[in-house]
Structure 1
Amino acid sequence: MDVVLAGTDSLWLLRKVRSEKDLELVATDEAPLAPTVRASNLPAIVGALPQDFRVIGPQTPLELASFSREARPCIGSVRARTIPGNLPPGAFLRVNGLSGKDLRIFVEGTALTLTHMAARLAQPIKEKTLTEQAAFFRLMSLASELCGTYGRDPTNPARGNCAWGVEPLCTALELKQSLVEVSGARGVRQARRAAGLVTPGSASPPRACLPWL
């Protein structure tokens, strides 16, 4: 069974893998086969995730990708995000090294990660708890991280320890090109804007911000 994490849960695992030597991200053009997740599948899915993954429950549902509205699971402990139909090659990354039996776990690739974060940041802007400039700065910082040689702490990205000297997930040009092929997704316009300002090969968060200083 293929399981595709989405949104912030996907980003958490993406960062976790970059900081763990026993885990590996594998780029693949093979599309995940994501059947409808049932409540009986949840214990196996949660058991396969790293031990420090957050608690899953009705108030804190697991974010999963769905490839059609009809296939979205109706489970209280799962929030399904419908993935747009037009996606670039390598839209998802397979995670190797997790202990799930008969489970393959995928995370969103760089284009979807940035697009979904842009969509998520639209809400605090609407609620006026975050300015448009501050939200875009966060988005640009994430784009630089994806193309950089460091990875933020998955649980405490603002103040936790970074992983240093890791392989970039993509180049700045690859990120821009992959976003061109994403269509029909909320946030993609802002994601493209952020990708156009990314610092290639940044080695640290402060260096990623240098063009803005």
Structure 2
Amino acid sequence: MTEPILYSFRRCPYAMRARLALLASGTRVQLREVVLKDKPAALLAASPKGTVPVMVTANGEVIDQSLNIMLRVLREYDPLHWLPATDDALERSLHLIARCDGEFKQHLDRYKYPHRFHLFDGLENRAQGAMFLIAINEVLSVQDFLHGPHWGMADAAIAPFIRQFAHTDAHWFSAQPWNALQGWLQAFEASDTFARCMHKAPAWKEGDAVTWFPEH
């Protein structure tokens, strides 16, 4: 094996952030699109927890956390300077991403899928999740990107989750006074990078021909 393997699921925000970092770093992988209801044995053998994304490097190392995949490929090659330039800036970015992956993600899940959590609706969680969005909007009101002067790792790591929150009730989201956040998200969704990240791939099964990501 000369190129890494990435087990992915197109709509999963964790897998999206990994694919975005692969695009930014120019890392080419063998893409294996997973059907979550029928996970392939090769995925479970690599990572028994069975979540995506999972990257298996050329030397057989398994990386099964999306943020670790981002950091690995960007530390190897970062032509767009997605990684913060200083240790302090990196710590701030990682702290912001941790807030997204922690409390915000919990509210997002309960807002989007309330019945999975035995809730009548997810409106209370929407209100709680909105507190994070208000904080993000405040940042974007004074600088164009979470990374700072240009799009970077923090933007790519967080945008897929905010996108999921926004699309749960697009009318409600668009009615909020978050002009900076809404513009940032709209620009992301309209970008060529997002289109390439979301290119549809067939579900993978053992013996299939290789599907490359990115395609070119």
TM-score, normalized by the shorter chain, greater than 0.5: no
From the two aligned structures, give the one with the greater strand fraction. Answer: 1
- Whichever of the two has the greater Rg, that structure is 2
From the two aligned structures, give the one with the greater helix fraction. Answer: 2
